[in-house]
Amino acid sequence: MSAPALEIRGLSVRYDQAPVLTDVTFTLAPGRITGILGPNGAGKSTLLKAALGLLKPDAGEIRFFGEPRARARGRVVYVPQRSAVDWDFPVTVADVVLMGRYGRLGLLGRPSREDREAAQAAMAQLGILELASRQISELSGGQQQRTFLARALAQGGELILMDEPFVGVDARTEEAIVALLHQLRDAGRTALIVNHDLQTARRYFDDLLLLNRRVFAHGPSAEVFTPEALSACYGGRLAVLSGEDGAAVVLAP
């Protein structure tokens, strides 16, 4: 069996002494889409950031494809939360998508024809080719999210990490993103997605990771998405019932 796309062991993170994540351990098998679910403040974004080395954990070991992060650089793609992007920055859609290729250019390299073609193909696949010369603030929320997905596609990474990709996005874009993710998965890619929408979780994700400071459950969606596991993870903050096949039916978030 090939090395797991992501392997995290004993990860603990604190902000100003307050523990945010405690002893988080899990592995992601390649070729699956995993959703991270959990209440607000559960440390979902923190987990992604720690995995990417953007903040320093107190303890823990993180390996991508069996290697330390620095050696797996080109294989990991991060799609930031939309609110974390400076939409007023003077770049066009085409500029942003081409940035997906910068990692392989080195410090002084210039994009080749191949790089530009990859960016074009990614824009075409996301249906944003006709928006190529727009400045990014002139886009709808869905178009902005497609732009960053096209960048991830142009980069061609094997593991895609996304932070709340469906926030502020129209229903059509959400379906398009999910369809694309399923397509990428079928081509062997892996995705780890922070999401807070429980209604769609089972349909969108192959596996679920229930997180609230620590891992409450991790496994195939059908096994994890149960009233017991969800109640445990969310505490009393969730009204859940058992559905016909034993799956949870969420009444109120």
Partner 1 sequence: MPSWSEAVERTVVFFTLGYDFLGWTIAGAALVGLICGVLGSLLYLRRLALLGDALGHAALPGVAGAFLITGHKALAPLVIGATATALLAALTITWITRVSRTRPDAALGIALSAFFGLGAVLFSILQASPSGAQSGLNHILFGNAAAITPGEVGLLAGIAAVTLAGVTLLYRPLQLASFDPVGAKLAGVPTGVLHYGLMTLSALAIVASVQSAGVVLVAGMIITPAAAARLLTRRLHAMLAAAAGIGAVSGVLGAWLSFLMPGVSSGPAMVLCAALVYGVAFALRLRRPRAAAEAAA
Task: Pick between residue 109 and residue 243 the one whose CB is nearest to partner 1.
Answer: 109
Task: Pick between residue 62 and residue 232 the one whose CB is nearest to partner 1.
Answer: 62
Task: Pick between residue 60 and residue 80 the one whose CB is nearest to partner 1.
Answer: 80
CB of 39 to partner 1, least distance (A): 25
CB of 115 to partner 1, least distance (A): 11
From 37, 56, 88, select the one nearest 218 (Cα to Cα): 37
CB of 174 to partner 1, least distance (A): 22
Pure H helices in the chain: 44-51, 93-99, 113-125, 141-155, 171-186, 198-204, 221-224, 227-234
Task: Pick between residue 41 and residue 109 the one whose CB is nearest to partner 1.
Answer: 109
Structure tokens at 124: 């075409």
Q: Output Rg (C-alpha) for the chain, integer angstroms.
A: 19
CB of 143 to partner 1, least distance (A): 11
Partner residues linked to 79 by β-bridges: 162
CA atoms within 13 A on the CB side of 150: 32
Task: Pick between residue 95 and residue 223 the one whose CB is nearest to partner 1.
Answer: 95
Find out whether 217 and 24 touch, Cβ atoms under 8 Å. no
How far is residue 152 CA from its own chain's centroid? 11
Structure tokens at 215: 């891992």
How far is residue 247 CA from its own chain's centroid? 24
- Which residues of this protein are in contact with partner 1, per CB under 8 A? 52-54, 73, 76-78, 80, 84-86, 88-92, 95-96, 99, 102-103, 105, 107-111, 131, 133-135, 138
Find out whether 84 and 40 touch, Cβ atoms under 8 Å. no
CB of 183 to partner 1, least distance (A): 23
Q: What is the DSSP letter of 60?
A: E
Q: What is the DSSP letter of 4?
A: P
Task: Pick between residue 63 and residue 218 the one whose CB is nearest to partner 1.
Answer: 63
CB of 136 to partner 1, least distance (A): 9
